[in-house]
Each structure stands twice: as structure tokens, then as C-alpha cells.
Amino acid sequence: MPQKKIRNMEEFAAISGISRPTLSKYFNNPDSVRKSTRQRIEIALDQHDYRPNVYAINQNRQTTRNIGIIVPYLADPFFNEIGRAVEVACIEAGYSPILLSSHGKPDHEAENLESLRSLKPAGVLLAPLGRESNRKTIDKISRDVPLVLFDANIAEVGEAFIGTDNAQSVGLIVEYLCRSGEPPCFFEMKTPSNPNANKRRQAYLASMERHGFTPHIFQAEGHGWGFEEIGQSQGGEMLSRGVFPTNTVLCSNDRLAIGMLSAAYGLGIRVGHGSGCRLRIAGQDDHPFSRFTCPSLTTMAQDYAAIADRAASTLFRIIETNESPETRAETLFDGRLVMRDSA
């Protein structure tokens, strides 16, 4: 148990009998001191529970070991999971992640980037809001520190991009839906802020053409991040008006699908791939709640573990070699078909 409060490294040096510069080396990298010294330090350490002052440490270092992570909307379980995965990757590599949410608003994204700048991070991992992102602010931080984008791409911004191959992902589920029943209609937001939405629409069109079917796109009004609400109200209205020419609807993302499933239930429309079902609904992303919808949702799972790991390791390489790749690499991972009950 601690006898008395240790105020700084000087005092800890006196008590432990190790010189301050050696202690400083140890705290920077425990392996940089001899094993016997390390053990002496660690014994003293858990006798007196001293911790170096973070602020004093970072004041002198030109570059900290902080990594800024920004996701568009942390309340969305999908971004929560991917943000968390990135966080873990940073910790495992010995960095200090700082996970921030833009709460769906460009202003917040800009604010987050600004406050990150003053924390002098070694690098930033950004899942941008997309279309509405403030390019200037992003460029500004990009000049200061290495920046890697994930989830949503913005042309020529940052040193690299890591995400899901929307063409493959949408292509695969369209193929599955066509083979297992009627070809799908496509349900999406009219003005999506996320650039993935546009890629998905294009992938749907291309895929339907490839299979020789006529595409049908239906767009919901509204903006913001209340996708379930929008899927429920507008998707429900479309269902009750009977606008879909086939019995299958592919939603641009799971949250829209969750809303539409809820609406279908309310209308007494039986959803599923079995006989006696009038409607099939599928999604994209494998949202954590898609397992528990009624019926459970057939969807494409993003490999967010791979995305998170690759994004983090790409950033670490840039930081540690201190050189950006000559060409901006765009890495796309395949989605995986998750067949559940809804389609």
C-alpha cells in the first residue's frame, strides 16, 4: 500500500533508487531497459502506484501516441461495433485511441476534427459522413497528420481507404434473391448522405441488368439518421399502396429494412421466404438487431473486423515508417451472405 503520495518522476526516482532518465526510458518503452532494471521498477511501481503525468509527457513529444477515431453515428450499433473494433486494434498496437461520434452532423464532424488537432494525434481514422462532410476541415487535419478513411470513401482524401465492396455485396444478394424467387425491387433514401448508398444503387442496377431483369427503385423522402422511422412510415405506405411490382424488396441498409419489417407486421403482411408469405425483405450490413427482427433479416454481413484491422494497420505503417504510400490504396472486402428468415 502506498505510504505517501508521489508527485512526480523525480520523487519516484528517489524512492525507487532508479535514475529519472532511466525511468523515462522505461515508461516510453519497458523493453528499452535491462530486465533486472525493469523488474526493480515494476516492484517499486506497484508499491507506490505512481503514474507519469500525461500532459507533461505529451508536451515535449512532437508526436503523441494518440489515435483519433471518428465515426458518423455512434448510436448506430453498426458504427459502434466497427468503432470498437478499431479501438481495440489501436490498444493492441500500443496506441491510445480516442473514439468520437459525429452524431450525424457535419458540424460535429468538423468540431471533432478540430479538437483532435489540438490533441496532436499520431494519426486519424475517419469514417466520414460523406457528401456533407466538410472537405476543408478534413484537408486541414490531413496536412498535419496521417489520415486513413474507412467505411465511406471520399475521392482523393486521406492516404488510404478501407471498406466493403458494394458491387460484390449487392451483386451477391441480388443473385441470391433472383435465384430463390422473384427479382428484388430496391428501397433506399432519396437523398442519402452516405456515399455507400449511391454505390449500392449502382450495384443493384448493374446486377439486375446482368441477370436480364428490369430494375425498380423506390426512394423515401426524409433526411437524418432515423432510418427505422423512415423505413416504417414510408416503406409502410408503399406496401399498403402496393407499389412494388415484385414480392421482393432489397433495402439499401438493414435499418431501413427493420423499419419496413415493422410496417409489414402492422399491415398484417406475412414476410418470409416460405410458402404462405407474400413478401420478402432483405437488407445490407448485418446490423446487430437483424437477428431479432420478426422474421429475422436476410442480409449481407460486412467484414468489419477485417476493415477495422486493415484500416488500423495501414495507419500504423504510415506512422511508423513515416512515409505515405506513393499511391492512395483503396482496399475493399467482400460481404458475406447471411440467409435468415425474411428472404
Q: Does 48 bind its own copies (CB under 8 A)?
A: no
Q: Does 37 bind DNA (CB under 7 A)?
A: yes
Altogether, the residues listed in the chain come to a count of 343
Distance (Å, whole) CA 328 – CA 53: 38
Of residues 60 through 89, those in contact with DNA by CB under 7 A are 60-61
Cβ-based nearer residue to DNA, 21 or 224: 21
Q: Does 108 bind DNA (CB under 7 A)?
A: no
Spatial CA neighbour of 144 closest among 158, 156, 130? 158
Compute the radius of gyration of the chain from its Cα atoms.
25
Distance (Å, whole) CA 142 – CA 133: 14
Q: Does 118 bind its own copies (CB under 8 A)?
A: yes
Cβ-based nearer residue to its own copies, 183 or 272: 272
Of residues 15 through 34, those in contact with DNA by CB under 7 A are 17-25, 27-28, 32-34
Residue 65 contacts residue 96 (beta carbons within 8 Å)? yes
Q: Does 266 bind its own copies (CB under 8 A)?
A: yes
Q: Does 184 bind its own copies (CB under 8 A)?
A: no
Cβ-based nearer residue to its own copies, 182 or 341: 341
Residue 264 contacts residue 279 (beta carbons within 8 Å)? yes
| Member of 44, 69, 149, 258 binding its own copies (CB under 8 A) | 258
Cα torsion at 159, 160, 161, 162 (round to 10°)?
A: -140
Q: Supply angle C-alpha 31, 32, 37, rounded to 5.
A: 80
Q: Does 117 bind its own copies (CB under 8 A)?
A: yes
Residue 278 contacts residue 248 (beta carbons within 8 Å)? no
Q: Does 37 bind its own copies (CB under 8 A)?
A: no
Q: Does 337 bind its own copies (CB under 8 A)?
A: no
For residue 87, give every residue at least 6 positions away whose Cβ sits within 8 Å of its Cβ, in sequence order, or none. Answer: 69, 97, 99
| Member of 14, 43, 119, 329 binding its own copies (CB under 8 A) | 119
Q: Does 96 bind DNA (CB under 7 A)?
A: no
List residues binding DNA (CB under 7 A): 7-10, 17-25, 27-28, 32-34, 36-37, 52-53, 56-57, 59-61
